[in-house]
Amino acid sequence: MEADGLGLKGFPELKNDTFLRAAWGEETDYTPVWCMRQAGRYLPEFRETRAAQDFFSTCRSPEACCELTLQPLRRFPLDAAIIFSDILVVPQALGMEVTMVPGKGPSFPEPLREERDLERLRDPAVVASELGYVFQAITLTRQRLAGRVPLIGFAGAPWTLMAYMVEGGGSSTMAQAKRWLYQRPQASHQLLRILTDALIPYLVGQVVAGAQIIFAKDGHFALEELAEAGYEVVGLDWTVAPKKARERVGKMVTLQGNLDPCALYASEEEIGQLVKQMLDDFGPQRYIANLGHGLYPDMDPEHVGAFVDAVHRHSRLLRQN
C-alpha cells in the first residue's frame, strides 16, 4: 500500500525496507528476519508491562500495544515489527464474550451451540468501528517506529475464528466445529460469511492505519492454491521441507519460515548450524526467515538474538559465495 517514503498519513520514511523488498520478490543484500510472537512472554519487559492489566484490556490500549510491539526491536535487529493484538478481538467485536484464562488460554463462556445462536452476533459491518483501538495502535506504532522497519498487521482466518467460537476455546481436533460443517452446512456457510464480511474491512482498515503486509500462514496442504491466490508471502510451518515447498510454488511467491521453534532450546552454536541449513535450502532470494510457529514463553532471549544474528550473518555469506 505504501512502499516509498511518506505514505497515507505522512508516516516517517522507511529506512530498512529489506522485509518489504523480499516480500515483493526484489533482490535483497541479506535475508530479512522476524519471529512470530516476538512480542511475547519470553521477554521479562513484556511480562512487566503486561502484569498491570488483563490480556484483552491490554489489547484495547493503543499505548500498551505500541510499547509491547516495540520491545523486541530494542533488543534485536529484527527486520519487521508485528502489531501486538489477538485474533479473537474479532469475535469480541461481533458481541461474543472472550476471556483469557491464565495457564489455559482463551475461553468463550457462551460458545455457539445452535444455529439460532448466530442471531446473537452483531452486524459484521460494525466490526471495523468496534476495533478502532487496533487501528489507533497501528498508527501510533508506525509513528514511533520512525521508519526503522515495516509494521505487519494480521487477523485470524474465518475458519480459525469459527473453530474458536464453536469450540469455546482452542482445540486440537476441532471436532465440534467440523461437526457444524457436516450437520449444519448452511449455518456454517452463514457464519463463515459473517466472519469474512467482518474481516475484509478490518484488514483494509489495518492497511489504511499503516500496516504494511499480510500473509498466509500454515497452509502447506494448499501451497499451490495459496501461491496462486494473490498473496505475496506464504508462511510455512516446520513440517514442510523448504526445498520441496520451493519446487511446488516456484518463483511466484516469497516463502517465509520455518525453523522449528524448539530448535531455540539448542545451544547458540547449534542454532547457527540449523539456520545455515535452512537458508541453504530456501535459497537467497524471495525468502523471509522466521520460525515455523510462535516463540514459547520459556525461551531464552539470548537464543532468539542468536537466531536473528545467524540469519543476517549466514545470508550475507551466502550472497558472497
Residue 86 annotated in active site: yes
37 within some domain: no
Please identify which of the residues 42, 164, 202, 287 carries the catalytic annotation.
Answer: 164
63 within some domain: yes
Per-residue pLDDT, 15: 97
Q: Which amino acid is at 318?
A: L
276 within some domain: no
213 within some domain: yes
**Tens of pLDDT along the chain (321 residues)?**
344 444 456 899 999 999 999 999 999 999 999 999 999 999 999 999 999 889 999 999 999 999 999 999 999 999 999 999 999 999 999 999 999 998 899 999 999 999 999 999 999 999 999 999 999 999 999 999 999 999 999 999 999 999 999 999 999 999 999 999 999 999 999 999 999 999 999 999 999 999 988 666 655 667 888 778 788 888 999 999 999 999 998 888 899 999 999 999 999 999 999 999 999 999 999 999 999 999 999 999 999 999 999 999 999 999 998
Name 32's Cβ contacts closer than 8 Å, sequence gap at least 6: 18, 19, 22, 79, 80, 288, 289
163 within some domain: yes
Name 179's Cβ contacts closer than 8 Å, sequence gap at least 6: none
Nearest CA-CA partner of 235 in 218, 249, 248:
218
Identify the CATH number of the domain in which residue 47 sits: 3.20.20.210
Q: Grid coordinates in use for 33?
A: 528476519
Per-residue pLDDT, 102: 85
268 within some domain: no
Question: Buried (b) or exposed (e) across 149-158, using 16+ Cβ within 10 A?
Answer: bbbbbbbbbb
Domain count, the chain: 1
Write out the H or E segment, with its range, that includes residue 257.
strand 254-259
> What is the distance, to the nearest Å, from the Cα of residue 223 to the centroid of all Cα atoms in its chain?
18
> Do 15 and 148 touch, CB atoms closer than 8 A?
yes
Please identify which of the residues 21, 41, 144, 319 carries the catalytic annotation.
Answer: 41
Residue 164 annotated in active site: yes
> Do 184 and 117 touch, CB atoms closer than 8 A?
no
Write out the H or E segment, with its range, that includes residue 234.
strand 233-235
Residue 300 annotated in active site: no
200 within some domain: yes
Name 47's Cβ contacts closer than 8 Å, sequence gap at least 6: 41
191 within some domain: yes
**Three-state SS annotation for 271-312:** HHHHHHHHHHHHCCCCEEEEECCCCCCCCCHHHHHHHHHHHH
Per-residue pLDDT, 315: 98
Q: What is the DSSP string of 177-203?
A: HHHHHHH-HHHHHHHHHHHHHHHHHHH
Per-residue pLDDT, 9: 64
Please identify which of the residues 17, 30, 42, 50 carries the catalytic annotation.
Answer: 50
Please identify which of the residues 86, 117, 218, 237 carries the catalytic annotation.
Answer: 86
Note if the pTM is more than 0.95.
no
Query: What residue numbers bound the domain in which 149 lies?
Result: 43-218
Please identify which of the residues 37, 60, 148, 246 carries the catalytic annotation.
Answer: 37
Rounded to whole angstroms, the maximal C-alpha distance in the chain is 63
Calpha distance 196→174 (Å, rounded): 19
Residue 160 has φ and ψ, to the nearest 5°, of -60, -45
> Do 112 and 166 touch, CB atoms closer than 8 A?
yes
> Do 98 and 92 touch, CB atoms closer than 8 A?
yes
The Cα angle at residue 218 between residues 213 and 224, in degrees rounded to 5: 85
- Count how many residues are written for the chain: 321
